[in-house]
Structure formats: C-alpha cells, structure tokens
Chains A and B, each alone.
Chain A
Amino acid sequence: GENVEQHPSTLSVQEGDSAVIKCTYSDSASNYFPWYKQELGKGPQLIIDIRSNVGEKKDQRIAVTLNKTAKHFSLHITETQPEDSAVYFCAGGGYNKLIFGAGTRLAVHP
C-alpha cells in the first residue's frame, strides 16, 4: 500500500521568509496529492492540491510541485505571515483513498 513520509516535523521561520515542506510517496499509482492546514481544535482544511499529470500549481503565496519520477512533492509558502502558523499535512493516493503524512508544525514568528 501507499506510504507517505513528510519532513520536517517542525519548522520555524521569521515573518516574510519562505517555508518549504517535503513529502515522498511509495505507490507509483497515486494520482492525487492534496495539502491540508489544521489549526488547533479544527479539522484539516484543503489549501491546495495537485494531480499527477501536472508538475506545478500556484495559488497566491502557496505553490506545490510534483516530481513523479522521484515520487516526491513539496509545498512552498512565500512571504509567510503569523496566521500561517498551523500544522500542515500532505497526502497521497486517490481521491477516495488518501494516505496522510505525519504533519509539519509551522511556526511563523513576527
């Protein structure tokens, strides 16, 4: 089955800096890779996703890249703000069967 590994587990940046979170997956049949943001006491919220036929996708300050050959994908957040502080999860698999990474706790310091 699919296995998704996520790094780093914690990330601390200064406001305005960029943050990068990386994930690897094992199942070459995986075709959908969403990223979720989870704030304390809330459920995960989708922030961006990418399908296997696309190499890069951008939405304002957030971008995701996918390297199918190497089986890894990354989340890039530019111009970080304190409200970006949360736990971020990558996931891989199919739309109906997602395997989540263990999460990255991002802290953005003013």
Chain B
Amino acid sequence: EAGVVQSPRYKIIEKKQPVAFWCNPISGHNTLYWYRQNLGQGPELLIRYENEEAVDDSQLPKDRFSAERLKGVDSTLKIQPAELGDSAVYLCASSFSSGEQFFGPGTRLTVL
C-alpha cells in the first residue's frame, strides 16, 4: 500500500514569494492533516480536514496561509507571501476517521 505522498520534497524561495505544497493521502483516508515542524521541535497542527471540510483551522495563520481539499482527496497548502520565519518542514498526515495518523515525508521549506 502506498503511503502519504508529498511534493516537492524540498523548496527554496526568497521572502515575499508564494509557495505551495501538495499532499496525496492514503487511499480511503477521509481525514487529512497539515502540520508544521520547526527545527528541533515536534509537529504542530495547522489544519485538519474531514473529507473536504476544514474542521479545525484554529492554528492556521490565515493572513498568509491557505489550504484546500476540493474533492476530499488531495490537498494543497499555500503560503503567500512567505516570511523568513516560515522556514520549516511541512508534514501531511492522513487517517481513517479517528484512527492512527500516517505521516508523509514532508516538504522542507527554506525562505531566504
């Protein structure tokens, strides 16, 4: 069974530029999570989707971050404009309802 797929794996951009991350969850998983992991820290939840509905986006910085999961499968997380402090690993995870969360390999973002 294929795991959670994320792309790109690495991204380097200059500050104020936009950036987007893509996630394809495990087939059949209706719940999708986006996390941010700063260097030397644990993952922090940004947003959780149940199918195509964002049910918890309380930690998403909505002035510059946006996310979508239009058909309840793939998801995209966008940052516009990026700031230096956004440098981190962005992790996507999926689960079947309230089951075990399976994480993807992450996208390492560097903002210069």
Chain B residues with CB under 8 Å of chain A are 4, 31, 40-45, 48, 56, 91, 93, 95, 98-106
Contact = CB atoms under 8 A, between A and B. Distances in A.
A100 B42 contact: yes
Contact of B56 (A6, A42, A96, A100): A96
B87 to A, nearest CB: 16
A91 B44 CA distance: 11
A43 B106 contact: yes
Contact of A96 (B42, B98, B103, B105): B98
A102 B91 contact: no
Q: Chain A interface: which size bin?
A: 20 to 34
Interface string A75-108: 0000000000000010100111110111100000
B110 to A, nearest CB: 15
A45 B42 contact: no
B104 A43 contact: yes
A41 interface: yes
B56 A46 contact: no
B11 to A, nearest CB: 15
A41 B105 contact: yes
Interface string A25-38: 00000000010100
B100 A100 contact: no
Nearest to B106: A43
